[in-house]
Amino acid sequence: MRVMPPLTSSRLTIRTFTASDLDAAVAVFDIGYSDRTATTPEAIGKRQAWLDYIIANAQQLANLDQPPYGERAIVDTASQQVIGAIGFVPCVDQFGLVGIGHNDGYSQAEVGLFWTIIPTHRRQGYASEAARMMIDYAVGSLGLRRIIATTEHDNIASQGVMRSAGMDIRTNPHDQPHWLQVVGVYETQRRFELLANGMTLRPITLSDLSPLIALWRLAGLKISPTDTITGLRRHIGVSGNLALALCALDGTIIGSVLGSDDGRRGWINHLAIHPDYQGQGLGRLLITTITARLKAQGCEKINLLITGPNQKVIPFYQANGFGFDDIIYMTKWMHDDV
């Protein structure tokens, strides 16, 4: 039986709701919201039915060894007052629109994170702290790679909680579906890494496109017609954990690498170091990092391509274990089809 234990910190306890929590559930979900009639017998009856379901749901999911979906109480540890609710929820939508997987028109299932705090206890960091506790449990005990949260464009408070919990903020660039607006994404492989030299290795985001193109031009790389917001969004969606930016102490991007995994082999693209930082072993650092990640994903061979004007980098790759292969490289641009 898979039972989610209570999660505790110095300020908060996250636990299952109990039969004695009816008044607390009304306070969390109904009182303080102008569009809800909280204290009528009918409203209380509906909240009691919800509470009965939440309690039974937690027990049944545990009995079936299923993920611990459903709301849990956020309790102030000192006062033992229930001040909010949080929980894992199944989310199904076209998340490819925000760079999670392929944007192929199909919906996909993700583990979502929901939270709410009673109005009198907001702006004190409780939601952010509870979200981090749940994410730590999801990663450490459930072994999840990714957790998401959704909100609206104008819900700045929720977006702040997402950022505080370590989530990347993704927005839907399309008008439809109208309910899919902002998605917070926490991925275990997309964490910032502070290097010994003070530089930072971090995931590439969509806002990095302009400085990346400037870097690639300075480093002598060929700019491809696919080096666009659309192209970068697709790459992040499919291979986001392999898209890395190396940043100087002031946050300026001075290195990059775009790795990908086609299911059989790994690929390395757009590996670049700013000319002012070359000769310091930073290119080797990126090669070592991306090679380790591709190997961890099961790639037994890694390929890369060098364009004619950039053949001066061949000795660098040879020194890092790459050799020539007997292949003919052919391409077809899809816009050539009439």
pLDDT digits (tens, 9 = 90+) for 56-89: 999 999 999 999 999 999 999 999 999 999 999 9
- pLDDT for 315 equals 86
Helix ranges (H only) for 299-338 are 314-319
Q: Write down the residue that tokens 């109904």 correspond to.
A: 30
pLDDT at position 35 is 52
Average pLDDT, the chain: 90
> Strands 302-304 and 266-273, how do they pair?
parallel
Q: What distance in Å separates the CA atoms of residue 285 and residue 231, rounded to the nearest whole number? A: 25
pLDDT digits (tens, 9 = 90+) for 230-249: 888 888 878 878 999 999 99
Question: CATH classification of 7-187 is 3.30.420.40, yes or no?
Answer: no
Fold classified for 193-336 = Aminopeptidase (3.40.630)
In whole angstroms, how large is the CA radius of gyration of the chain?
24
Residue with more model confidence, 32 or 253: 253
Is residue 333 very low, low, confident or very high in pLDDT (cuts 50, 70, 90)?
Answer: confident
- Please give the average per-residue pLDDT across 31-51, as a whole number: 79
How many other CB atoms are found less than 10 A from the CB of residue 217?
A: 12
Strand 253-261 and strand 193-194: the pairing is unpaired
pTM: 0.69
| Domains 7-187 and 193-336 in one fold | yes
State phi, psi for 112 to the nearest 5 degrees: -100, 160
Domain map of the chain by residue range?
A: 7-187, 193-336
User: For 126-137, what is each residue's pLDDT tens digit?
Assistant: 999 999 999 999
